[in-house]
Chains A and B, each alone.
Chain A
Amino acid sequence: MRRVILAFVATVAGLVVLLSFKTASTRPTDRPVALSGSTPSEDPASPGPSPSTPSPSSATKAASGTRTVTGSSVRVSEGFRTFGFVQVRVTVQDGKILKVEAVNYPDGDPQSAEISQYSIPVLGQEVLSAQGTSIDVVSGATYTTQAYAQSVQAALDKAKS
């Protein structure tokens, strides 16, 4: 794929326009997922849904090929926030899903849980590469023409052109 990178510099005194073409290489697209939890397994000894900690799943057998499986408690997070834990019970008959029920919801009223405070870690390039994250562009407080030269955006423009 051909990509065109152009940096347009507007200063009070004058303008500089840089233009270059280059074929971009494919980069990793793997993404971490927001859900985490243990693999569901059948464990009749399990006491069942646990409200706030990941727990083994449980399964019960009912009449003629009907089976109920309760999944692990799964942490639901979005961004840096954890909403709570979700646990799902699935009823299967002859290999077909009859019913899916949520037996445990994220707790707290969504409005009050809207915002929570947390410490924002600093992600270095090495952290991002370790997670398979590629960066196309950088959003930040407006940089001046002078500051652009030292910015990560400038490095990206240079690397891609």
Chain B
Amino acid sequence: MGTVVSFDVSADDASESVVRAAINAAVEWLHHVDAVFSTYRPDSDISRLNSGGRTLAECSSLVGQVLDLCSDVARETRGYFSPAFAGRVDPTGLVKGWAVELASDLLVEAGVIDHCVNGGGDVRARGCPEPGRDWSVAITHPLQRDGFAAVVEVRDGAVATSGTTERGLHVLNPFTGRPATRLASVTVVGPQLARADAYATAALAMGDAARDWLAGLDGYEALAIAPDGTGWSTSGFTSVVALPT
């Protein structure tokens, strides 16, 4: 599955050529990640690893890094995030967030501080869009296209949403093997996009059990919406839009 990565850069503190060079480097990085990790490319390291055509030692060192991160996240999510699917290695649930996070790091290293990168719905924001204002991140309402459920403000942080609206019931409960149906979408806000992304997917797989698990996470807040339009959020989740209470 292909997706789109959008860069929104405030170029106040960097010249246009610096911004272009930084974005080119970030785009090149994302292409590289795609070449190494795509399960749709038969020649990617991940595909070769699964077919037995390549050992982990023969893969890019990035593969080891990501699989280590996957192990940590699998433990943190009590096994609900799993980098294995149908007996094959598949870190897809985390790679996008991880890659977007590092693309954002590349921009910072180039001196492009104020920016927001959106990788197919997973957002990493830094700095501000305009002086005196934080990034406003709208969260898609899972039950209505073009409608929103909340708007959160982020200065330096990540917002990831996992849901069943765009690609159907594609998240499985790894313990039952059945599609997760209790929640229509889960949004996680926190410092790291790779974790926010994986946590949102894990919470979707957990269903009702996600409430307590998300409430206990340090530094991450969440909003969950059920298929009937009801929802809940952790205590620190703050929408800037005033809603009826």
Contacts and interface: CB of A to CB of B under 8 A. Distances in A.
Contacts of B244: 121
A128 B241 contact: yes
A66 interface: no
Of the listed residues A77, A110, A121, A154, the one surrounded by the most CB atoms of chain B closer than 10 A to its CB is A121
Interface string A120-141: 1111110110010111111111
A79 B118 contact: no
A114 B20 contact: no
A120 B161 contact: no
Contact of B136 (A15, A115, A133, A160): A133
Interface in B4-60: 4-12, 16, 19-20, 23, 27, 30-31, 34, 38, 40-41
A133 B232 CA distance: 22
Interface string A129-161: 001011111111111110110101110110010
B240 interface: yes
A139 B137 contact: yes
Contact of B235 (A8, A78, A139, A140): A78
How large, as a class, is the contact surface on chain B? 35 or more
Nearest to A26: B130
Given A122-B148, A123-B149, A139-B161, A160 B8 contact: yes
A19 B20 contact: yes
B198 interface: no
Contacts of B140: 138-141, 152
A31 interface: yes
Interface string B134-151: 011111111111111111
Given A24-B130, A143-B166, A138 B137 contact: yes
Contact of B243 (A11, A80, A160): A80
Interface in B87-145: 96, 116, 118, 120-123, 125, 129-130, 132-133, 135-145
A136 B114 CA distance: 13
B70 interface: no
Of the listed residues B138, B142, B232, B241, the one surrounded by the most CB atoms of chain A closer than 10 A to its CB is B138
A9 interface: yes
Of the listed residues B2, B7, B146, the one surrounded by the most CB atoms of chain A closer than 10 A to its CB is B2
A123 B165 contact: no
B181 interface: no
Interface string B141-171: 1111111111100000001111111110000
Given A3-B10, A12-B1, A134-B136, 10 more contacts: A4-B19, A78-B238, A80-B245, A115-B235, A117-B231, A120-B225, A122-B144, A123-B151, A137-B136, A145-B2
